Amino acid sequence: MQMGSAWSARQPVGITSALVKFMMRRFLLTSSGALFLGSTGAFFLFVPLMSIVTVALMLGGLMLMFGLGFQAGAHEVVPAENVGTGVLY
């Protein structure tokens, strides 16, 4: 069996290859987590808190309105102006 250039061109196998892949994944996950936290921190530094609270409250109100609409639709609530007409939705 010859150990020429074809042997050296193969990819490394075994525990060293697995360790390198594991360390690379750990480094990438750590770096992406740090980038996400840094971006979030910079956002909260440069955007005023009052505008963030306002948007959050408006989104919360919008979700509550949609929830009430779904509940009213599930219970077949008829609007007051359509009570005597017999119109159902």
Distance, in Å, from the CA atom of 36 to the CA atom of 29, rounded to the nearest integer, reads: 11
Say if residue 8's pLDDT is above 60.
no
Say if residue 23's pLDDT is above 60.
yes
Residue 37 belongs to domain spanning:
10-76
Whose CA is closest to 79, among 67, 70, 88?
A: 88
Average pLDDT of the residues in 1-29: 72
42 occurs within a structural domain = yes
CA angle 72, 73, 76 (to 5 degrees): 85
| pLDDT tens column, 33-77 | 999 999 999 988 988 989 989 999 999 999 999 999 888 888 776
Residues whose CB falls within 8 Å of the CB of residue 11, separated by 6 or more in sequence, listed in order: 17
Sign for the pseudo-dihedral over CA of 43, 47, 50, 54: negative
31 occurs within a structural domain = yes
85 occurs within a structural domain = no
Domain count, the chain: 1
Q: What pLDDT shows up at residue 62?
A: 97
Average pLDDT of the residues in 10-37: 85
